[in-house]
Structure 1
Amino acid sequence: MEDRVASLLLDWYADHARSLTWRAAPGSALPDPYRVWLSEVMLQQTTTAAVAPYFSRFTQRWPDVQALAAAPEEEVMAAWAGLGYYSRARNLVAAAREVAAMGGFPDTEEELRQLPGLGAYTAAAIAAIAFGRRAVVVDANVERVVSRLFAIEEPLPGSRKIIRQRADSITPDERSGDFAQAMMDLGATICTARDARCLLCPLQEVCQGRVTGDPLRLPVKAAKKPKPSRTGTAFWIERDSHVWLVTRPGRGMLGGMRALPDDGWSAGSDGDEEAPLSGAWRAGGVVRHSFTHFHLELGVAIHAGDDCGEPSGLTGGEWWPVAEIEAAGLPTLFAKAARLALARA
């Protein structure tokens, strides 16, 4: 069965490959490593639909790795705002500077993994897609396809070792980049989490999951633990049509991003710290946001007027024009809070 998978899948991919701005057409010359790297970093835990506009804006503004390496980190962070997982943006800048210093991207998995922010999957994807190296590329879509193809019964995450072994057994020596992208496309369009469109699948004749009669139950997943909830408060401090914004510490949640000052919820508090200003405060409502490991309810406290002096106890802040708040590059959580404060102003 293994020796048939690659040919079946590559034939299907020739006619059904998704058209994505960072991709080269099936069987064509290898794509620009910069575009492959940038797209793969953006696609980590993020959908292609969400990534596409960011990728276009980034490549227009910074068309190559040298341009990105020369960009101020705060500009890259602001351009990343809304895409989430902000450590990726910090690592993006660090990796771009390393690549620029060495004169170009390394072309092996081992060397690529030395760059900031590149794990096993991303390094394998870049090596295969951008450099034509044989590499075993396993993302969530590939995990699902392989689990069904081989009817792997062991639950995730424990099954990942056998999934990788099975993926290795079907990865061809030639065109492994096209093969990896074909597997991703199959998982994204045919063998999806919610559906198994077996009659349209190029691998239906060799799929052991289809033989079981219930491919949708694969991959088997361990029960998820419920996410804990946190509460906190963000402060909208306005004076002379300007709002006080701070820059969050470089490490930690939303690190290095501009934001509204808050009460330390990201450190695990329950919103019990005192407000940073005395005077008249009014409630501006609550925004809700989910992070990877917890849910957050963030109250918005509003203090506006000429009596708003320079906030005490807050470092790294600046008065930002309220009319230009969209240009501040606030992460999604604080963009929600800002919109709520403006609506209640």
Structure 2
Amino acid sequence: MSSTQSASAPHLLIVIHSLSGGGAERVAVDLSAYWVERGYRVSIATQTGADDDAYALHPSVQRIVLGTAAPSQGRASALLANLRRVWKLRRLIRRQRPAVVLGMMTTASVLAIVAARGLGCRVIATEHTHPPSQELPDMWLRLRRWAYPQASRVVALTSGTAAWLEEHVPGSALSVIPNAVCWPLKQGEPVLPPPEKNGRFRLLAVGRLHQHKGFDLLIEAFRGIAEYFPAWDLVIMGEGEDRESLQAQIDDAGLSERITLAGRVGNIGDWYEQSDLYVLSSRVEGLSNSLLEAMASGLASVAYDCETGPREIIRNGIDGVLVNPPEDVEALAAHLSDLMAHEAKREAYAKRAVDVLDRFSTARVMALWQQVFERR
């Protein structure tokens, strides 16, 4: 227990599958560090061990490994595995007696609600992706409808997700809390210095190489305008299961010298600083951490106006551009062309983009979390 804590300090238990790379995982680590430094006792319970961690915990945060992440085969096996998860989590809650249990993402939230029944702690559920874009088995969808109305609070990243939950999971007590923009950006491994631009311009995109991120749409849009902007290159940062298909698309377009899949890096801040324009081509979003980071770094941004997320960050025509209709390649190409061609417009948007440092500041976001944690 750190010197800032006492035996009577509020105890927060965060439940999450793992601390591998991802937005919810990073939020869990950031929340735990913030509140442990303010006198809370904080524990994080994960199903997986530390081998696949992408984020380091604050030294005063207790890590509990439940060891319940093994894959299951078939419905009976899945049922038994989830019963075991509930049993181990309930034992932990009985032993630790936290004041608040915070479930991170749908399945962890449902497990936390079930495990904590009758134990006198407040349980907060969270949704970090927009539910219609989730690929959850029917069992989890039914369990969510049953469990969320029993939670003390259900936290959504965006007002769009909150509206969806209000309609499809009636009876839930809802709050909207966005992600805070983490600033200054942390440096980590692997470090990949951005190549010298040598008079060229860089269009940057960041995200998991997955269909949801729409990089296939982005590559097609860039293909349509590349010949008109011979000094511009596209760099896509991130890893994922679509790497091979995206690289094949790049090669087929004859753009392997102009479009780079640069992989995952720990020094993403250097890439934001050394880029000229940011693009978010997602088909679906929660609340994009990369978009917040890019704007905080002073980049004008172009994003599809998908159902939730970008419209709650970008002020269209003020600090960036929302592209409609979503998933329209020609519309994306047209808006990219406009900003690639007009440096003064890029610079004007960039000057206003840094307002996200105030609009999504840690102080503002943590004040919202405090209201949820201490609500009676």
TM-score by length of 2: 0.23
TM-score by length of 1: 0.25
Larger strand proportion of the pair: 2
Q: Which has the larger radius of gyration?
A: 1
